[in-house]
Structure 1
Amino acid sequence: MPAKLEGKVATAPPRPNHIRPASVAALAAVADVHLTRPGHADVQVTGVTLRAQQVVPGDLYAALPGAHAHGADFAEAALANGAVAVLTDEAGAARESLRDVPVLVHPRPREVVGLLAAHVYGRPSTKVRLWGVTGTSGKTTTTYMIESVLKAAGRQTGLIGTVGTRIGDEQLGSSHTTPEAPDLQALFAVMAERGVTDVAMEVSSHALHMGRVAATEFEVGAFTNLSQDHLDFHADMEEYFQVKAQLFDGRARREVVCVDGEWGPRLVKDTTVTVSTTGPATWTASGVEVSATGEQTFTAHGPDGDVEIHLPLAGSFNVANALVAIACLHEEGIGTDAVQAGLSTVQVPGRMQRVDEGQAFTAVVDYSHKPAAVALALDAVRAKTDGRVIVVLGCGGDRDRAKRPLMGEAAAQRADVVIITDDNPRSEDASSIRAAMLEGALATANRGEVLEIGDRRLAIFKAVELAHPGDVVVVAGKGHETGQEIAGVVHPFSDVDTLTAAIRKAHR
């Protein structure tokens, strides 16, 4: 059952106001697909969607095969809403409900729906500059850094990613890190219409694997890092890497790769701009200094000299993210003044986000929801405190089960107190998820205290209750999210708001 946000109805993604219609015959030629009814070749298409309930008159409805249902099951509703043509496979084309409409048939329709949408919306990715960032961790932070610098340089910006979508200053919601292919092409067209010049965009492995960024042309493609995640979706780490590597198959005019670790170097070509915090590269960093608040200064060394950087974000990994952003921006000729100004003011929701209510301990919310990210976050706060580290951590349901004990282990190795709690259990039994995390935590040698509190709100309040002056409380896993999914229902929940409330209550 799809999740429903209580009290809210999902809205359709934006569409451009001005569209030059495309005939189904032209679409068939563009994607080299079979048109079942040539007599309908002149039917004009003005939009594309995968969702029958979001069809508007003039749309091409993409009826894709799925794990639980076939999109053709909903074709009748799509046609009733005004769809004028359908893209599907042979199984879908055989449906009785499609006998009187033009049908574009392809054995793997998902592979061509992005191309068709790009054609309908006028190849919009060529009308804005796209800055694509992929990797396991750091995508959101790096895109926020790029956007902040572009704004400082006077560019009109857009942002697409996990936290949401932004067109200028208008904030939209986000159901995927990277929207579905037709929604993405429509979004590019809307941004271009509204004067956006540059779009910083997260590119997930799901998006690459499922063709969401097909027919999308990037000005710059960047790689941050790779660690275990999404192994419920990918067979193993090698497959995960190969999918990420698709961003570097020629669809980006320039490529920037962080070569720290084992995976990045495999992406390097003669023209690749490299980044490293540990060894030789096109861009490196030195003189990193961290203040008591976690803010950092360092010197970035690049082809044209040094740049002094002030970064209001904690964690050594954010130095690497900043270097990736700086390298991308340098490739596009963004000046040093804008780089310094943009990075000095960047803020990223739910990424090492401090909650300060005047308390005598440090409180941080972070989106770390994979073993390596948990380790990096806790190592970062450990390096700046002589007190204890207290972490609240859960794992999502219906996702990579293998990482659960590893996350428990990573937390127990680094924190003085680990409170295992619920994240988004989704359709799974929450106690079984916690049990897997506890197994990893309790098996760790030299571990600290490990507690289990299933109710996430109570777990956060407990962490604050335990905190002494000089300690650090880290609430990890959900970051910017404003809901908790349990048994198919998304209940309002914010780690930042809950942590704030807990601190205020403790200091009344």
Structure 2
Amino acid sequence: MPAKLEGKVATAPPRPSRTQPVPVSELATTVDAHLTAPDRAHVLVSGVTLRAQHVRPGDLFAALPGTRVHGADFAARAVEAGAVAVLTDAEGAAKVAGVPVLVHPEPRAVLGALAARVYGTPSSKVAVWGVTGTSGKTTTTYMIESALKAAGRATGLIGTVETRIAGERLGSALTTPEAPDLQALLAVMHERGTTDVAMEVSSHALRLGRVGGVGFAVGAFTNLSQDHLDFHPDMEDYFRTKAELFDGRARVEVVCVDGEWGPRLVKPGTVTVATTGDADWTATGVAVTATGEQSFTAHGPGGVSFDVELRLPGEFNVANALLAIGCLHARGVDHEAIRAGLRDVEVPGRMQRVDEGQDFTAVVDYSHKPAAVALALDAVRARATGRIITVLGCGGDRDTAKRPLMGEEAARRSDVLVVTDDNPRGEDPAEIRAAMLRGALGVPDAERGEVVEIGDRRLAIAHAVGEARAGDVVVVAGKGHETGQEVAGVVHPFSDVDTLADAIRGAAR
């Protein structure tokens, strides 16, 4: 049955089994907050949450101001559930009764530091490898984690696809969890023996303080291209937000300097990587097999060089691999472990092959930005002997300006483009498709292939498979690893990988 979304996480995130309670007065001092009820300064806090439904006895409840409601409206419910103190602003403080209140003009900005203090500053005990950028965050974190495993480290992973603790898989509601959940998660990882955590760091996480209180062993930058302009007013603001990861909170900074944005992050001590031009880490001798596997030689500081094999196609994955190599080498990981990790890495929904014995290539990819669509299709074009047949949609309630651009990039690179639905969310799917079609059909006839509109994504994928012949490549782009499709506030079970496999089997029958 489809699940109705209610704007909340259905299950509470994990917490460590033990914490050392902290006096509320000490927490107030930590972030320079005004503490009401000073006669209750001795009250002990043993946990933190910003969701009233997840409060446990002994918690600090973070009542944050919102665009529609104030978190303090739920303070009574939180106190009833056992919250012993509340963090909020002056407006929220007027709505709280019965417990000490930490009043701060920007409670969201200090929430991470408070949670870190309550959970024992876990990022000082677990090495956190943070990766930011528009595209490549997921792939690079998987590469880093794979190499760390090969080096014998006990690893964790936090990102878009999943969260993993010592092999146990958790779902990912957000690319980067909210600050209290993240600090608790890092504490759980430490408790379970994790030594290193590879984590995606989104611009939302940086702007909204979700990674506040985290000290990073490594901060890495992949690239920047148009995305999230529904959240950021322009590209410059988007870049400045990403740049916050490089404000001194990471002990090692590694930056890909391909393109215009990365070089702006470089300062003395920055490790640089590039697929073209000069950098600390570069690649030569890139070779691609007929099935998309790649090999190259990585060259690093001090004359270091070694051969690398990748299962993942595309020049952008050479850049991702170099970024991972730069991070790993800077932290002293052995080159043989790096090679083994890169050779074995697999990333769900990122250039993922679907093989049901058919005589054409079928790929699922998460590309949902104009630049990512172009890179993905260029990568498959480089090894295709036949036509490129692309299935692509755009998500609703997100950056509207990128829709015609995505249609244009896909139309220029496809022999057949099937425009379909992605996650319409609260928008009219036909209007989203119309915006994509404006971009696609704006490409001159001589520079594009056939453009077809099929709203039903399952039928669109089946149509693409039905069109495919020997040597062709079918690319289903946009949703990647996702297992649901959100339409009008309802999430319906849907997997591009499973749907594509079913269509191929159906066509064979």
TM-score by length of 2: 0.98
Is residue 267 of structure 2 the alignment partner of residue 266 of structure 1? Answer: no
* Cα-to-partner distance string for 1:67-97 (whole Å, 9 max, x where unaligned): 11110111111111111111111111111xx
Partner of 1:294: 292
Q: Distance in 1 between matches of 2:30 and 2:262?
A: 35
Partner of 2:496: 495
Partner of 2:203: 205
The total of aligned residue pairs comes to 503
Give the superposition deviation at 1:9.
Answer: 7.5
Q: Distance in 2 between matches of 1:136 and 1:238?
A: 13
Partner of 1:87: 87
* Cα-to-partner distance string for 1:15-72 (whole Å, 9 max, x where unaligned): 0011000111011000100011111111111100010001111110000011111101
- Structure 1 residue runs of 4 or more that deviate by more than 4 Å after TM superposition: none
Give the superposition deviation at 1:11.
Answer: 1.0
| Counterpart secondary structure, 2:259 | coil
* Cα-to-partner distance string for 1:332-388 (whole Å, 9 max, x where unaligned): 111111011111100000000000011000000000000000000000001111210
| Counterpart secondary structure, 1:213 | coil
TM-score by length of 1: 0.98
Residue correspondence of structure 1 range 334-349 to structure 2 within 5 A:
334-349=333-348
| Counterpart secondary structure, 1:297 | strand
Give the superposition deviation at 1:4.
Answer: 3.4
Partner of 2:455: 454
Q: Distance in 1 between matches of 2:181 and 2:497?
A: 30
Partner of 2:326: 327
Q: Distance in 1 between matches of 2:496 and 2:76?
A: 42
| Counterpart secondary structure, 2:476 | strand
Partner of 1:309: 308
Q: Distance in 1 between matches of 2:102 and 2:320?
A: 43
Whether the 8 Å contact between 1:147 and 1:200 is mirrored in structure 2 is yes
Whether the 8 Å contact between 1:421 and 1:453 is mirrored in structure 2 is yes
Q: Distance in 1 between matches of 2:64 and 2:122?
A: 23
Partner of 1:365: 364
Q: Distance in 2 between matches of 1:306 and 1:101?
A: 61
| Counterpart secondary structure, 2:252 | strand
Partner of 1:60: 60
Whether the 8 Å contact between 1:5 and 1:491 is mirrored in structure 2 is no
Q: Distance in 2 between matches of 1:241 and 1:173?
A: 28
Identical-residue share of aligned pairs (%):
73
> Partner letter of residue 318 of structure 2?
V
Give the superposition deviation at 1:489.
Answer: 1.2
Residue correspondence of structure 1 range 247-266 to structure 2 within 5 A:
247-266=245-264
Is residue 378 of structure 2 the alignment partner of residue 354 of structure 1? Answer: no
Is residue 453 of structure 2 the alignment partner of residue 441 of structure 1? Answer: no
Choose the corresponding residue for 1:176, options 170, 174, 177: 174
| Counterpart secondary structure, 1:155 | coil
Q: Distance in 1 between matches of 2:84 and 2:288?
A: 59
| Counterpart secondary structure, 1:61 | strand
Gaps of 5+ in 2: none
Partner of 1:394: 393
Q: Distance in 2 between matches of 1:99 and 1:59?
A: 15
Whether the 8 Å contact between 2:135 and 2:223 is mirrored in structure 1 is yes
Q: Distance in 1 between matches of 2:407 and 2:53?
A: 41
| Counterpart secondary structure, 1:74 | helix
Q: Distance in 2 between matches of 1:9 and 1:435?
A: 33
Q: Distance in 1 between matches of 2:236 and 2:197?
A: 29
Choose the corresponding residue for 1:134, options 132, 136, 150: 132
Superposition RMSD on alpha carbons, in Å? 1.1
Q: Distance in 1 between matches of 2:481 and 2:73?
A: 35
Q: Distance in 2 between matches of 1:174 and 1:73?
A: 27
* Cα-to-partner distance string for 1:318-344 (whole Å, 9 max, x where unaligned): 000000000100001111110111111
Partner of 1:379: 378
| Counterpart secondary structure, 2:377 | helix
Choose the corresponding residue for 1:215, options 213, 216, 235: 213
Whether the 8 Å contact between 1:52 and 1:78 is mirrored in structure 2 is yes
Partner of 1:48: 48
Is residue 283 of structure 2 the alignment partner of residue 285 of structure 1? Answer: yes
Choose the corresponding residue for 1:121, options 110, 116, 119: 119
| Counterpart secondary structure, 2:349 | coil
Choose the corresponding residue for 1:112, options 91, 110, 113: 110
